[in-house]
């Protein structure tokens, strides 16, 4: 009976020691706050606060359900961010990260478990924001077709040959572009979705200036993450239609024929008038009396 009491007492004592150790650890090594994933074009950075004073941070991360890993530059660091781009190799996987509050480098501690905070889950493929694309406008010589040539955005990723990948390399056929356009002198807008980086528009009025902006569209994502950043707005030049485009060849040929006929008629009238005048003059001379020497 007495031994049971002693055992319970020792267990209570141990629990109190652990409690005060945790309380002390929380005071010495405060837990981080505001843990956030920040990712654009697959450059994925984990951020948090506050800046440490007499302690440091270590980041551990893993695919959900897998063993945790560390990256060398985020072990006992005084920074409040960790670039995990290279560590998130399976782009379609979901990851979580723990940020531990630990002693500074070279400082030991008797604590077995340090205070830590876990991030929300994150997937590069489904969550990274896509930046602003660039494009060029090409208008065909007959003004019947306008083509947008979009440059696929480069990412922070590299393949095994150290070649930088663009978003087309990553998303493949899942990558689409949304084009929004309007007449330069109008507010009415139209949209076109294209799976290609070369986007042809054939429903534009000839000679009119149109304004365009482009953004990445990823329909397989959650609604709030489907669209990339909007590009800068660009407008095609406004060109006055030539006389052939405005009136047509038939009308112009008809007008030329009418002008030629009118000129011919005027010439004929002038010639006839001249002949009549000469006749009148000749008739007048014939009616005069002959001069007598």
Per-domain boundaries in the chain: 26-118, 134-237
**pLDDT digit string, tens, across residues 201-242:** 998 998 889 999 999 999 999 999 999 999 999 999 876 555
Least confident of 60-69, 121-130, 259-268: 259-268
Adjacent-strand bridge partners of 181: 190, 212
Band (107; pLDDT cuts 50, 70, 90): confident
The answer, yes or no, to whether residue 266 has pLDDT greater than 50, is: yes
The answer, yes or no, to whether residue 5 has pLDDT greater than 70, is: no
- Name the superfamily (CATH) of residues 26-118: Immunoglobulins (2.60.40.10)
Chosen CATH of 134-237 out of 3.40.630.10, 2.60.40.10, 3.30.1600.10, 1.10.510.10: 2.60.40.10
Residue labelled with tokens 């074009």: 41
In terms of pLDDT, which residue wins out, 135 or 9? 135
Phi, psi angle pair for 223, to nearest 5°:
-55, -40
What does the mean pLDDT of the chain come to? 86
pTM of the model: 0.71
**pLDDT digit string, tens, across residues 41-93:** 999 999 999 999 899 999 999 999 899 999 999 999 999 999 999 999 999 99
Common-topology check for domains 26-118 and 134-237: yes
Here the tokens at position 142 are 């007959």
Residue 257 has a pLDDT of 77
Residue 125 has a pLDDT of 98
Band (105; pLDDT cuts 50, 70, 90): confident
Residue 121 has a pLDDT of 97
In terms of pLDDT, which residue wins out, 208 or 21? 208
Residue 289 has a pLDDT of 57
The answer, yes or no, to whether residue 270 has pLDDT greater than 70, is: yes
Band (254; pLDDT cuts 50, 70, 90): confident
């Amino acid at each position: 009976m007495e031994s049971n009491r002693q055992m319970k007492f020792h267990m209570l004592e141990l629990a109190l020691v652990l409690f005060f150790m945790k309380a002390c650890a929380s005071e010495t090594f405060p837990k981080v706050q505001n843990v956030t994933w920040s990712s654009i074009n697959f450059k994925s950075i984990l951020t948090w606060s506050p800046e440490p004073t007499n302690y440091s941070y270590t980041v551990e991360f893993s695919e959900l359900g897998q063993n945790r890993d560390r990256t060398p530059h985020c072990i006992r660091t005084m920074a409040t961010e960790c670039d995990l781009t290279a560590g998130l190799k399976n782009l379609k996987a979901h990851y979580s990260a723990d940020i531990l509050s630990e002693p500074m480098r070279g400082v030991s501690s008797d604590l077995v478990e340090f205070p830590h905070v876990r991030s929300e889950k994150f997937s590069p493929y489904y969550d990274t924001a896509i930046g602003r694309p660039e494009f060029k406008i090409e208008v065909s010589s007959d003004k019947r077709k306008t083509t947008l040539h979009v440059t696929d955005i480069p990412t922070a990723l590299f393949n095994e040959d150290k070649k930088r990948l663009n978003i087309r390399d990553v998303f493949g056929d899942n990558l689409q572009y949304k084009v929004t356009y309007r007449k330069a002198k109008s507010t009415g807008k139209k949209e076109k979705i294209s799976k290609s980086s070369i986007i042809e528009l054939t429903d534009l009025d000839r000679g009119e200036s149109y304004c365009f902006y482009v953004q990445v569209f990823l329909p397989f994502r959650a609604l709030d993450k489907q669209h990339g950043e909007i590009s800068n707005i660009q407008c095609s030049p406004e060109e006055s239609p030539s006389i052939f485009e405005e009136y047509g060849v038939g009308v112009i040929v008809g007008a030329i024929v009418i002008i030629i006929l009118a000129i011919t008629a005027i010439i004929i009238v002038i010639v006839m008038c001249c002949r009549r005048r000469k006749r009148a003059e000749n008739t007048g001379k014939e009616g005069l009396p002959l001069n007598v020497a």
